[in-house]
Amino acid sequence: MGTYIIRRVLQMIPVLIGATFLIFVMVFALPGDPTDGKCGERPCSPAYIAEFKKEYNLNDNVFLRYAKYTGIWPTEQGGLLQGNLGKNYNGYKVVDDLKERYPTTAKLALVAIVFEVVIGIAAGVLTGVRKGGFLDNLVLVSTLVVISIPIFVIGALGQYFLGVKAGLFPVTVGSNPSFYELLLPGMVLGSLSIAYVSRLTRTNLVENLRADYVRTAIAKGLTRRRAVGVHALRNSLIPVVTFVGYDFGGLLGGAIVTERIFNIQGVGNYIYRGILNRDGMAVVGAVTVLVFVYLVVNLIVDLLYGVLDPRISHD
């Protein structure tokens, strides 16, 4: 197990470097002038541009800039490896900005994941054990509907009906939101995944209910509840865990939309603002951190897979 973790971490490094480099190149190396629109309606003064370019290493080639950014190429202020994500175009440290916003997005993602796991699995089990029943068809149709409605529509509808009309949830979210405030946005963010989790649970459960070991469980004189809820479900949840892990990336993308709709001051909104302001440093910093988190989550899921399924050996 130990060597497996080390190997996986080592494998992660080139992917992380590749992904951050890719983001870096896309944001900085492609056409488009980052000083565009920074000085109001007029073009910026040459002096300002020169200073700007020096500050952000815009005169170096892209590889050198990336090396300086990550800290592989030593600079006095240090780079990503030293925990320095540089300053955004407004002169604030990106790290400080992220520190401020990260807890909010983490909370939001947590609400979404708890929501998708609890409701998704419950719906999957209820429909899986009564395959073809009324509830099964109802859930099947409603998951299809949820899957087909884009998240920003669900967000707007949820905000309107559950927040404004029914008054069940707070409609606006403060700057340091509580879990309660993030309940509705989290549900919106997790809604697409709920549909997938419930369908995945159902499919796997239906398949596992046919498995020989469930028949054994019945032959052992266990209650049907235990045969299904312990023996079949335990096996059915293995792919669900994997899905929740890989889907984490989708959740991060969805966070941009959700935070925008509910005006939540999280990382997603930060990226969105950064993009609108063409603030490359902010965007690269925030996205790099998100990709890092995503890769770490995937690593954890892979390790968890080995724990959940003893047949997978990590030697």
Q: What is the per-residue burial (b if ≥16 Cβ within 10 Å, else e) of 40-79?
A: eeeebeeeebeeeeeebbbeeeeeebbbbbbbeeeeeeeb
Our CB check for another protein shows the closer of 93 and 226 to be 226
d(CA 43, CA 303): 53
What is the contact mask toward another protein in residues 37 to 66, using x (rule: CB under 8 A)?
------------------------------
Binding mask 240-279 for another protein (x = CB under 8 A): ---------xx-xxx-xx--xx---------xx--xx-x-
Decide: is 149 part of the binding site for another protein (CB under 8 A). yes
Q: How many CB atoms lie within 10 A of CB 135?
A: 12
Binding marks (x or -) toward another protein, 2..41, rule CB under 8 A?
A: ------------xxx-xx--xx--xx--xxx---------
Instruction: Please tell me the count of residues contacting another protein according to CB under 8 A.
Output: 68
Taking the C-alpha atoms of residue 282 and residue 293, their distance in angstroms, rounded to an integer, is 17
Q: Which of 60, 100, 302, 309 touches another protein by CB under 8 A?
A: 309
> Shortest gap between Cβ of 312 and another protein (angstroms)?
10
Sole binder of another protein in the list 122, 238, 299, 304 (CB under 8 A):
238
Q: Is there binding between residue 221 and another protein (CB under 8 A)?
A: yes
Q: Between 76 and 132, whose beta carbon lies closer to another protein?
A: 132
Residues that bind another protein (CB under 8 A): 14-16, 18-19, 22-23, 26-27, 30-32, 144-145, 147-153, 156-157, 159-160, 164, 210-213, 215-223, 226, 231, 234-235, 238, 249-250, 252-254, 256-257, 260-261, 271-272, 275-276, 278, 283, 287, 290-291, 294-295, 308-311
